[in-house]
Amino acid sequence: MLTRHLVLASAAALFALAAPMAHAAPAVVINPAGGCGLADGNGNFVFTTDTKAVVTQNNNNNSMFQCKANVPPSASGSAARFDFASTGALCGLLTSTGLQLTDQWHETVSASGEAMLICLVTGKP
């Protein structure tokens, strides 16, 4: 299960995103992103390179990372939702100021296995 593990928004992609984010672009779309670590529909950690990532950073030093990927769906056939409250896991996001960890994240996995992970880092100088 995903409980108490670090959810890395992206492994290889995080380093690719560091340079564009240093310029504080309104949005940087990376496709393919190089990879994203997230939960599958059963809460197991998976790493996939079948991803699309969007990173935004504003003048208040707020950063948001979105990762869309196809993952194994839930065995129950239902959609699944994960976040810090349900897992205790943190999301890691590499910003222009380095690796930031946040508990402000959530992931949804549809019944067909379409996953969306969103990590938000707020007010980091």
Residue 110 forms part of a structural domain: yes
pLDDT tens column, 51-98: 777 777 777 778 888 888 899 999 999 999 999 999 999 998 766 677
User: Amino acid identity, residue 15?
Assistant: F
Residue 117 forms part of a structural domain: yes
The pLDDT value given to residue 14: 38
Residue 104's CB is within 10 A of a number of other CB atoms, namely 14
Whether the predicted pLDDT of 117 surpasses 50: yes
This prediction's pTM:
0.73
The pLDDT value given to residue 118: 93
pLDDT tens column, 5-43: 445 543 333 333 333 334 444 555 555 446 788 999 999
d(CA 20, CA 97): 12
> Number of structural domains, the chain?
1
Residue 2 forms part of a structural domain: no
Helices (H), the chain: 12-22, 84-87
Contact 107, 38 (CB under 8 A): yes
The pLDDT value given to residue 22: 41
Residue 99 forms part of a structural domain: yes
Residue 1 forms part of a structural domain: no
- Residue 84: give the domain boundaries: 7-121
